Each structure stands twice: as C-alpha cells, then as structure tokens.
C-alpha cells in the first residue's frame, strides 16, 4: 500500500483513544454561548471532581488557585480573539495540594462547531516543580557566588596589609581560598533539598584532611562530634575559623611536633553547641595571651559575625584548648 493511500485513511477511533490515554491528555469542550463545559473522564480525574455530564466554566473556576483565577478567566475569554494556537498554564487546588494544568486549544473560533470550542488539559506539575527547583537553585547559587566573591575580596585586601611580601600574601590567600573551596564542595545548595547542607563531622574531616596528609603518624587528628547540620551561610565562616586554627597549630602547636595530636569534640545543651579543640603532645606552652595577628582577628570576626557565637582560648601547659560556642539554629543557616 502506498504512503498516500495510508495517509488517506485515519486511525481507528480506539487507537486514537489509546494514544490520548497514553499521553495523559484530558479532552474538553466549551460552549461559548451557554458556558457549558464538558470534559472526558480523564478531565474530571485531573480536577479531582466527580463525573457529571456538564459543568459550567464558572463552577470549574472555583477550583483554580485564587492567585490564578482572574488571569485564567480572562485568558479563556480572550481565546475568541486570539489568532492560532494558545496555551495557558495555571494552578488548581486538589485538597491541600497544588496541581499545575496546561490548557491548549485554537483561538479566534478556529475549529468551532455549533458554538463549541475544543481543547485539552495536560498535567504539567512535574515540569513546573522542576522549573521552580531550577530557578531556586540558580538564585541560591547566585547569592552564594556573590557572598564568596565578597569574602574573597575582603580576604585579599586584609591579607595584603598583613603580609610583607607578595609571595607571603599569595601563599596565605591561596590557603584560605582553598579552605573555602573545600567547604563549598560540601555545603553547596542541591536542587530539591532544604535545610542543612552537610554534617559538622563531614565538614571538619574535609577541612582538616590536608593538615594530616603525608604524616608518618596516622590519625593525629581525631574528630568525634555529634550529628549536627551545617548550612551554607555558616559553612564558609566555619571553614575560615578551622583553617586558621589548624594553620597556627602547624606553625606553633601540636601539629608542628611529630607526636602531636588534635582532638575535636562537641557538646550540645539548650540549643547551644560547644565545639572543643584540644591540642596535646606539642611544644610546651608558656604563659600566653590571646593571639592578636590577622588570622586571629579574622577568626573572631567570623565567630561573632557569621556564627553569632563566641570563642575562648585556654593556654594549658599540655596544649592549647579552644572552645567555640554557637547556637545550633544559627549553625544550620
């Protein structure tokens, strides 16, 4: 049989019905004079309504999301003057749930039969949720990149004033930015998720891994903290704090000695987290006061500004003890 002969014969009705059902398409007709609205069974299922022979467009509009109702009514009325195909997306309420519907048809009375227009409804909830998720993720990423650029600019400016040579500046700035990068890999926003971006133990492990790499003494850094979430906003601040503490330990503290160790633990009470940094096995500590270098000022600024907490130093003879306090709610932001 030739292709022309095949094209001349329409599909059987039952085949067309199967195709419509497979596509999840709901059929509707609308009498522009009487406002009578007729849908197939799929249409009533889509709107979560009991079957009836006809329903007026006004009755159907009651189930449209209040924010979309006027727009949809105007769009349907405007189809009489629209040339060619049209498509309108809107939300309907199904109990407490929101469902997105796409309505498609022909405007300007094209294909009208006995004052009745025809079209389809299609459930596009999945697509709309994906679009909203992508838009949210893009917004979060834009906000996060701007924050990181602001932090990087501030670090560059302050580091340039705290170092004597361009080589020292480049080294310290690179190390700090690398710490931010490692934190960013864990606390970056993920589409379709909410709440804390990572766990405190995971973040600490990633940030401190470079300070234990290549050491002949395994497990010099031990982390035993509670299962606590860290959000993207506070993750960068915490990364800078941990980097500065670890850098100082490598220069002057326990991590500068072959047998030195670092233990990090946490205690949570009444919504407040106390993170304890305990060094031991390093050089003997004589009486010391709180450090006043740029790194220490950066730590204090990060603690009070981004974390809304406090930090204290105990220069015990056996090793430095640092206690970082913050609220669990603030840490999860």
3-state SS string over the chain? CCHHHHHHCCCCHHHHHHHHHHHCEEEEEEECCCCEEEECHHHHHHCCCCCCCCEEHHHHHCCECHHHHHHHHHHHHHCCCCCCEEEEEEEEEECCEEEEEEEEEECCCCCCECCEEEEEEEECHHHHHHHHHHHHHHHHHHHHHHHHHHHHHHHHHHHHHHCCCHHHHHHHHHHHHHHHHHHHHHHCCCCCCCCCCEEHHHHHHHHHHHHHCCCCCCCCEEEECCCCEECHHHHHHHHHHHHHHHHHHHHCCHHHCCCCEEEEEEEEECCEEEEEEEEECCCCCCCCCCCCCHHHHHHHHHHHHCCCCEEEEEEECCEEEEEEEEEHHHHCC
Q: What local confidence, expressed as pLDDT, does residue 329 receive? A: 82
Q: How confident is the model at residue 330 (pLDDT cuts 50, 70, 90)?
A: confident
Please, which pLDDT band fits residue 267 given cuts at 50, 70 and 90? very high
Q: Is the pLDDT of residue 216 over 50?
A: no
Domain limits, CATH 3.30.565.10, in the chain: 129-331
Upper half-sphere CA count for residue 12 (Cβ side, 13 Å): 3
Evaluate whether 302 touches 241 at the Cβ level (below 8 Å): yes
Q: What is the pLDDT of residues 136-161, one digit of tens each?
A: 556 655 655 665 566 566 557 656 76
> Tokens for 140?
């979060």
Does residue 200 surpass a pLDDT of 50?
Answer: yes
Q: What is the mean pLDDT of the chain?
A: 76
Percent of the chain at pLDDT > 90 equals 7
Task: Identify the band that residue 224 occupies on the pLDDT scale cut at 50, 70 and 90.
Answer: very high
Looking at the predicted structure, is the pLDDT value of residue 263 above 90? yes
Which one is predicted more confidently, 41 or 108? 41
Domain with CATH 3.30.450.20 in the chain: 3-123
pTM above 0.85, yes or no: no
Q: What is the pLDDT of residue 43?
A: 86
Query: Which strand ranges, in their side-by-side order, compose the sheet holding 310-316?
Result: 221-224, 261-269, 272-280, 319-327, 310-316
Q: Which residues lie closer than 8 Å to 302 by C-beta, 6 or more apart?
A: 237, 238, 240, 241
Looking at residue 274, its pLDDT comes to 92
- 176 or 188, greater pLDDT: 176
The size of the chain, in residues, is 333
Q: Tell me: pLDDT of 275 over 70.
A: yes
Percent of the chain clearing pLDDT 70 (strictly above): 68
pLDDT at 194 over 50: no
pLDDT at residue number 110: 57
pLDDT tens digit string along 39-81?
888 888 888 888 888 788 788 888 889 888 888 888 777 766 6
- Topology of the domain covering 129-331: Heat Shock Protein 90 (3.30.565)
Contact 264, 224 (CB under 8 A): yes
CATH for 3-123 is 3.30.450.20
Does the pLDDT at position 5 exceed 50? no
pLDDT of residue 1: 44
């Amino acid at each position: 049989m030739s292709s022309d002969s095949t094209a001349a014969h329409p599909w059987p009705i039952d085949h067309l019905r199967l195709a419509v059902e497979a596509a999840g398409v709901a059929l509707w007709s609308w009498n522009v004079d009487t406002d009578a609205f007729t849908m197939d069974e799929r249409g009533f299922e889509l709107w979560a309504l009991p079957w009836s022979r006809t329903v007026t467009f006004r009755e159907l509009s009651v189930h449209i999301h209040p924010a979309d109702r006027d727009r949809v009514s105007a769009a349907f009325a405007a189809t009489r003057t629209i040339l060619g195909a049209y498509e309108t997306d809107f939300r309907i309420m199904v109990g407490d749930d929101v469902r997105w519907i796409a309505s498609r048809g022909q405007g300007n009375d094209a294909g009208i039969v006995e004052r009745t227009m025809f079209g389809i409804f299609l459930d596009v909830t999945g697509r709309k949720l994906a679009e909203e998720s992508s838009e949210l993720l893009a917004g979060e990423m834009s906000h996060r990149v701007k924050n990181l650029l602001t932090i990087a600019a501030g670090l560059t400016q302050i580091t340039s004033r705290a170092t004597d040579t361009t080589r020292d500046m480049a080294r310290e700035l690179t190390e700090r930015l690398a710490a931010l990068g490692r934190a960013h890999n864990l606390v970056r926003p993920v589409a379709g998720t909410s709440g804390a971006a990572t766990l405190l133990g995971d973040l600490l492990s990633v940030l401190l891994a470079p300070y234990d790499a290549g050491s002949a003494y395994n497990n010099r850094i031990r982390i035993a903290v509670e299962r606590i979430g860290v959000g993207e906003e506070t993750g960068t601040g915490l990364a800078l704090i941990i980097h500065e503490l670890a850098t100082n330990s490598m220069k002057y503290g326990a991590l500068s000695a072959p047998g030195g160790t670092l233990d990090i633990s946490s205690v949570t009470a009444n919504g407040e987290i106390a993170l304890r940094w305990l060094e031991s096995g390093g050089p003997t500590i004589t009486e010391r006061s709180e450090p006043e270098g740029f790194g220490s000022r950066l730590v204090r600024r990060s603690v009070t500004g981004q974390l809304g907490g406090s930090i204290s130093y105990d220069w015990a003879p056996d090793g430095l003890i640092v206690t970082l306090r913050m609220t669990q709610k603030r840490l999860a932001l």
